[in-house]
Amino acid sequence: MRGFILSTTILFTLIASIGIASISLVQAVEPDEVLDNPILEARAREISKEVRCLVCQNEPIDSSNAELAKELRIVVRERLVAGDSDDDVKDYLSSRYGDFVLFRPPFKASTFLLWFGPLLVLAIGIIGIIFFFRGNRTQKIAAPLSAEEQNKLQQLLQDGQEPPQKLNSDNKGEAS
């Protein structure tokens, strides 16, 4: 597998350097690629925005000038004309080129942290804030608050008075 990846990488690099050397005459979607059926063409455009041009630096085939991107754009359209669904086309591409070809990373064990990481950060933040507000009143740590306790906490917090630090801090910007 490693060898395969390495050799394809080298191959792509070669293709890319040839592309640069001959000053590629291709630029994004070319008129001759456009399908006659506007619905299919629109689908092709949407798919191409999610497909990576493998020889470029982080560019979708939709906007890339590379020869390979042009080939992939034609492949996408051929599959659509042959009756593939959008997902079929993407599956086809990722089976040929690996997950790397799709800008939408797949859901699988190795990408769980990627997809759920933001939620995790949010959850940690929320827990941190809850502890912060509880710590404001009491150092005791108990089970999570029930709605009733939450209300009570609110009540308590609102009864809480201004701390004495106020005097030495700068407070002239304060609202009533």
Partner 1 sequence: MIAELGQFALIMALLAAISQSILPLIGAERLDSRLMAFGSHASLVQLLFVILAFGCLTQAYIVSDFTLLNVAENSHSTKPLLYKISGVWGNHEGSMLLWVLILALFGAAVAAFGRNLPVTLKARVLAIQAMIGVGFLTFLIFTSNPFTRLLVPPENGQDLNPLLQDPGLAFHPPMLYVGYVGFSVAFSFAIAALIEGKVDAAWARWVRPWTLTAWIFLTGGIALGSWWAYYELGWGGWWFWDPVENVSFMPWLMGTALLHSAVVVEKRNSLKVWTILLAILTFSLSLIGTFIVRSGLLTSVHAFAVNPERGIFILILLAIAIGGSLTLFALKAPALKSGGMFSPISREGGLLLNNLLLSTACATVFLGTLYPLFMEALGGGRVSIGPPFYNKTFIPVMVPLFFLVCIGAYLPWKRADLVGVLKRLKYAGLAALLALLIAWYISDGGPLLAILGLGMATWMLLGTLSEWADRIKLFRAPLAKSWQRAKNLPGSSWGMTLAHGGLAIAIIGMISTTAWKVEDVAVLKPGETLSVAGTDYRFDGVKEITGPNYSAVEGTFNVSQDGVYMATLKPEKRLYTVKRMPTTEAAIYSTFVGDYYAVIGDPDGKGGWTVRIYREPLVTWIWFGCTLMVFGGLVSLADRRLRVGAPADKRKKKKVREAEA
As a whole number of angstroms, the distance between CA 6 and CA 81 comes to: 33
Find the helix or strand (DSSP H, E) in which 104 lies: none
Contact with partner 1 (CB under 8 A) among 7, 14, 18, 30: 30
Q: Which of residues 31-50 bind partner 1 (CB under 8 A)?
A: 31, 34, 49-50
CB 31 within 8 A of CB 14: no
As a whole number of angstroms, the distance between CA 72 and CA 87 comes to: 15
Least separation in angstroms between CB 78 and partner 1: 19
Contact with partner 1 (CB under 8 A) among 18, 125, 131, 138: 125
- Give burial (CB, 10 Å; 0-12/13-18/19+) of 47: buried
Q: Which of residues 131-160 bind partner 1 (CB under 8 A)?
A: 132-133, 136-137, 154, 157-158, 160
Q: How far is CA 42 from the centre of its chain?
A: 22
> Segment near partner 1 (CB under 8 A), from 70-78, 80-88, 126-134, 138-146?
126-134
Residue 64 CB neighbour total at 10 angstroms: 26
| Residues engaged in binding partner 1 (CB under 8 A) | 5, 9, 20, 23, 25, 27-31, 34, 49-50, 52, 57-60, 63, 98-106, 110-111, 113-115, 117-118, 121-122, 125-126, 129, 132-133, 136-137, 154, 157-158, 160, 162-163, 165-166, 168-176
